[in-house]
Amino acid sequence: MTLVVLASFGVVIAAVALTHGGSTKVVGDPVSGEALFKGYCSSCHTLKAAESTARFGPNLDNMKPTYAQVVHQVTTGGTGGAGLPPTARLTFGPGIHTFTKSDIHDIAAFVYLSTHP
């Protein structure tokens, strides 16, 4: 079961995803996260909720990353360029685009809630 509490104007006050092993606190606005994901992540990652089917990054629908995993990957720039195919085009990172903490939490909320219905 997933519970998302929203205030008026689409601002997320809290989002909590309950799992079998306990609960995971999710902080962020998944609506904003969807827009950010589509703009910066969908060219590399497959995620049904974003209508993206990409070839380079992991398929997030299959991977079902935890909220903390998404926060970590976006914060550290994914693999930081290590092991990426030569045709990969990073859309964020030093000198390209830097996400705010709020952006990172928004993306993580979107990915987590999309892959843990």
Q: Where are the domains of the chain?
A: 28-115
The per-residue pLDDT for range 57-116, each reduced to its tens digit, is: 889 999 999 999 999 888 876 655 554 444 455 666 655 677 889 999 999 999 999 999
- Compute CA distances 26 → 1, 48, 61, 66, 91, whole Å: 14, 20, 18, 10, 24
pLDDT in the model for residue 117 = 86
CATH number of 28-115: 1.10.760.10
Check residues 101 and 13 and name the one with the higher pLDDT: 101
Indicate the pTM of the whole model. 0.72
